[in-house]
Structures are given as C-alpha cells and as structure tokens.
Amino acid sequence: MLTAGCGSTPTSGGIGGDGDGGLERMAVAGDWNSIAISSVNCTTRSDACAKAYATKGDACLRLAIEQPQSASAKDSRMRELLDCAEDGYRKALLKQPSSTAPSRLSYHGGLLLTLSERRNRLDDGVKEKKLDRENEKLLIAAQDARREAPGSALGFLYGASAHVYRATLRPRGRDRCSDLRQAEAMLQRSPSPPRELVAEQERIRALTQRQLRENSCPRITRR
C-alpha cells in the first residue's frame, strides 16, 4: 500500500480509469503531484475503476505524510490532501465489484491510515467534539475492515488504537476503563500482524496496559 497526497490545482485532463493507463504511468514515474491533481472520471463498478481511485488516494496520502510534522490537519494544504486521500479510498471500496477481491484489503488499509493521520494531525487547539468525531470515523472504518477481512490485523490494530484514544478523551479514572478493556480484547483477538506492524502492535499493547494500571481499572474475572 502506498502512502500519498492530493493537489489543489485543477487539471484539464481527466482519467477514465477503465483501461486508461495514465495513472499507472504517472505512478511508475513517481509523479504523485500530477496524479493528485488529475480527476478520475470513471463511474462503473470495476477493478480498473476502483484501482484508479485508489491510485489517486495513494498519491494524496503520500503527499500528506510528506508534509512537515508541524503541519496540522486544519492547514488548508493538509486538509485538501487528506480529503483527497479519504475520497479516493472510499470510492475505490465502492467501485470494487467483488467483496472478496484481495485489493479491498489495501483500500481499507489506505483509508485507515488516512483517518489515523488526520486524527493525529489535529492540534491541541481543536475542540474535544471534533477530536471525538474524527476518532469515531476511524473506529467505524476499523470495524468495516474487521468485518470484510477478519484474517487481517489491520482492523484490529486501528480499532484498538481508536479505543485507547477515545479513552484518553474521558476524565481520568474508571470512566476510561471500558474503552481500554475493548482495546485489550481487540489486541488479544487480532491475527498476527505483518512484520512492519509488529512494533506498532506492541506499542499499542504497552500503552493499553499502562493506561489500565494508571486508571485503576478492575481486573475482569472469568467464571
């Protein structure tokens, strides 16, 4: 799965998607900015159309991640890039005609990474309601990924991350425990992650356990 970003300058040329190799050629060349400012015009539910939208999502997310760490999701450029990436992946999932196509997992992964990036780029001045709203979008997307691809760790890891994040929006103490326990259970049920996500899984697991201790969450006793 590529990571990418989206441009804000309009383009005169659109990409049809069905049988049009324009996006693929630009992707091979690493021309992410050109992809980001291209319009995808296909409307059919087909592998080619879904791939075209996903390629644009990839380009937009890549450019977003390349923005300075100080760039907030409220900045116009960053917001445009993340909106572009989210739109691309959602349309890719919509246009993919087969619910069992292997490509759907990469589209889910792109969407999850986009939503996580948006949430994590919100600065301290953002109101709690907006933080919660963006995190809820990630929770729902992770649930969709778990439903469609229960054999993948992606939906479990992003879901656990979202539950821990939601817990931190609540007052310290036992109000946080329900979400923390849900994160703990999700990590326990998760399939083994790919090698590149093992460290992230351990980070979320350690954070969850620390939060459970610090908030004096009672142990769950099984009969």
d(CA 57, CA 59): 5
pLDDT digits (tens, 9 = 90+) for 20-52: 568 778 887 778 888 998 889 899 999 999 999
Burial class (CB in 10 A: 0-12, 13-18, 19+), 137: middle
Q: Which residue has the higher pLDDT, 1 or 88?
A: 88
pLDDT for the residue 126: 73
Percentage of the chain lying above the pLDDT 90 cut: 69
How many CA atoms lie within 13 Å of 151's alpha carbon, on the beta-carbon side?
4
pLDDT for the residue 118: 93
How many CA atoms lie within 13 Å of 52's alpha carbon, on the beta-carbon side?
23
Q: How many CB atoms lie within 10 A of CB 178?
A: 14
Contacts of 133 (CB under 8 A, 6+ apart): none
> Contact, 125 vs 163, CB < 8 A?
no
> Contact, 113 vs 142, CB < 8 A?
no
pLDDT confidence bin for 57, thresholds 50/70/90: very high
pLDDT digits (tens, 9 = 90+) for 10-19: 232 344 544 4
User: Which pTM value belongs to this model?
Assistant: 0.86
Q: Does position 216 have pLDDT exceeding 60, yes or no?
A: yes
d(CA 81, CA 28): 20
pLDDT for the residue 9: 31
Task: List helix spans (H) across 100-153.
Answer: 103-121, 128-148
Largest Cα separation within the chain, whole Å, is 66
Contacts of 166 (CB under 8 A, 6+ apart): 132, 135, 136, 139, 179
pLDDT for the residue 21: 65
Contacts of 92 (CB under 8 A, 6+ apart): 50, 51, 53, 54, 57, 103, 107, 110
Q: Does position 6 have pLDDT exceeding 80, yes or no?
A: no
**What does the mean pLDDT of the chain come to?**
87
